[in-house]
């Protein structure tokens, strides 16, 4: 039976379950009495929904609180072990795979380091498949509890009806790579387990907005600073975040050639890969045979030596110049989007950390318009190196909310609006 607005009774029940699950997840534990005004549902509807969720094993008791003159009220919470999600970070130096419970507590993890320029799509897909199998074994996962696999990737993601998620990653040599199809081939996961593939900067932004330094903000930009640079913009108009190819803004006409092929991109000056290359080009001596992350650590040690040793002027000069390029790039984001907050994450951003931040802030406000610059704060993200995998795991978690806690089924076009609405959920300040 359908209502006049086109919603069926089934839709209404699913929406009520979604409302209760999300409220308990972000604000719980709560009593049935508190859930009514918090969700806008009647006391009878709350009782029915809670009874269903408890029967399904999704909600459990979490103690009690005294009431005003009456019996103690039972508190409820989402049962952490009632679901599991896998988050995958396909980075440019490694592939990281983590298994989480419903409360996003890590149950197992594995990593596969990548050789320089080792971005063969078949190899990457093999790393992801093997990593998924490994964390499922190590975490003693229950197949019936797995809600889905979220994957953050470098590049633009396009969803097609015949091949699923297709990745355009020009900087790593991926041209319309059918990643979802590659992951499903030879996979041990059941066909109904959904894959959610999105840009890594966007999954980083999703994690920081739900659980990190973006909590409570309506306008924010989250920057992924790794081998290259990218950003996720969250505004009231784009509430579930939009990845922007910020690293490919032109910051210098006829400048250094970016790995995308264009001259003068921000990434040609501010990404860790180009930062190390510029150190070498300026006459520095980066240690040979080291991976990118270890080499950047060595560069920082050379520029800022401990114990009063003399700094390497070449390394220091390149880092200071990079801070200015990053600040100028952030000024573009400030002028274009006028965010409340800019958050910097990614492995290189975390390595450069607080030492780098004051100079970046100074240059950003110098290059930006005064009014929006006065209103923005620029800080580091709070979730550390696992932020992309946490954000990737949020993608199946949001689908779980959107479905009212129902078990996984293949993602179809008619389910996407509810999933996107669930992603827009904000944790309180």
Domains for the chain: give ranges and CATH numbers.
Answer: 10-78 (1.10.10.10), 84-203+386-403 (3.30.420.40), 214-380 (3.30.420.40)
Residue 385: Cβ within 10 Å count: 16
Structure tokens at 317: 């000069």
Tally: H helices and E strands in the chain: 14, 16
Question: Which residues, 6+ apart, have CB-to-CB distance to 144 below 8 Å?
Answer: 407
CA dist 253 and 251 (Å) reads: 7
CA dist 146 and 131 (Å) reads: 15
The continuous run of DSSP H or E covering 202 comes out as helix 200-211
Q: Is the dihedral of CA 306, 384, 273, 125 positive or negative?
A: positive
CA dist 298 and 305 (Å) reads: 10
CA dist 398 and 382 (Å) reads: 21
Cα distances from 166 to residues 18, 65, 153, 178, in angstroms, run 29, 50, 11, 4
Sheet-wide strand order for 174-177: 156-160, 164-169, 174-177
Burial of 182 (0-12, 13-18, 19+ CB in 10 A): buried
CA dist 111 and 109 (Å) reads: 7
What are the start-end ranges of the H helices in 28-83? 32-39, 43-55
pLDDT in tens, the chain (429 residues): 444 556 788 889 999 999 999 999 999 899 999 999 999 999 999 999 999 999 999 999 988 887 766 678 889 999 999 999 999 999 988 999 999 999 999 999 999 998 877 789 999 999 999 999 999 999 887 778 899 999 999 989 998 888 889 999 988 899 999 999 999 988 888 888 999 999 999 999 999 998 999 988 889 999 999 999 999 998 876 656 788 889 999 999 999 999 889 999 999 999 899 999 999 999 988 888 788 889 999 999 999 988 878 899 999 999 999 999 999 999 999 999 999 999 999 999 999 987 889 999 999 999 999 999 999 999 999 999 899 999 999 999 999 998 998 876 555 555 555 555 555 555 444
Supply the pTM of this predicted model: 0.87
**Is there a contact between 18 and 401 (Cβ–Cβ < 8 Å)?**
yes
Q: What are phi and psi of 233, to 5 degrees?
A: -105, 125
3-state secondary structure of 54: helix
């Amino acid at each position: 039976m359908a209502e006049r607005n086109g919603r069926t009774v089934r839709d209404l029940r699913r929406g009520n379950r979604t409302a209760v699950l999300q409220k308990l997840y972000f604000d719980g534990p709560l009593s049935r009495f508190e859930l009514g005004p918090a969700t806008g549902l009647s006391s009878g509807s709350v009782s029915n929904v809670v009874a269903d969720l408890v029967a399904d094993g999704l909600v459990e008791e979490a103690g009690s609180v005294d009431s005003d003159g009456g019996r103690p009220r039972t508190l409820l919470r989402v049962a952490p072990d009632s679901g599991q999600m896998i988050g995958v970070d396909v980075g440019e130096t490694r592939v990281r795979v983590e298994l989480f419970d419903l409360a996003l507590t890590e149950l197992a993890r594995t990593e596969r380091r990548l050789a320089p320029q080792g971005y063969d799509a078949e190899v990457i897909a093999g790393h992801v498949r093997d990593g998924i199998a490994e964390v499922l074994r190590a975490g003693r996962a229950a197949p019936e509890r797995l809600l889905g696999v979220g994957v953050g990737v470098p590049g633009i993601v396009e969803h097609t009806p015949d091949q699923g998620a297709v990745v355009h990653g020009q900087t790593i040599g991926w041209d319309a790579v059918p990643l979802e199809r590659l992951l499903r081939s030879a996979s041990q996961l059941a066909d109904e387990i959904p894959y959610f593939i999105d840009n890594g900067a966007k999954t980083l932004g999703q994690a920081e907005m739900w659980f990190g330094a973006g909590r409570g903000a309506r306008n924010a930009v989250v920057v992924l600073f790794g081998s290259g640079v990218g950003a996720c913009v969250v505004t009231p108009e784009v509430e579930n975040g939009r990845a922007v190819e910020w690293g490919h803004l032109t910051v210098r006409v006829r400048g250094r050639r970016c790995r995308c092929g264009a001259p003068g991109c921000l990434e040609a000056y501010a990404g860790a890969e180009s930062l190390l290359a510029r150190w070498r080009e300026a006459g520095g001596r980066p240690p040979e045979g080291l991976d990118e992350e270890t080499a950047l650590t060595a560069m920082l040690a050379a520029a800022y030596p401990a114990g009063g040793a003399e700094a390497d002027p070449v390394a220091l000069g390149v880092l200071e110049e990079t801070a200015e390029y990053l600040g100028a790039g952030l000024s573009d984001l400030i002028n274009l989007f006028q965010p409340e907050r800019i958050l910097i994450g990614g492995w290189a951003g975390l390595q450069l950390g607080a030492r780098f931040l004051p100079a970046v802030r100074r240059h950003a406000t110098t290059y930006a318009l005064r009014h929006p610059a006065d209103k923005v704060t620029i800080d580091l993200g709070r979730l550390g190196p696992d932020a992309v995998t946490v954000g990737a795991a949020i993608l199946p978690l949001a689908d779980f909310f959107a479905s009212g806690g129902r078990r996984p089924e293949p993602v179809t076009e008619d389910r996407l609006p509810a999933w996107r609405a669930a992603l827009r959920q904000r944790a309180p300040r």
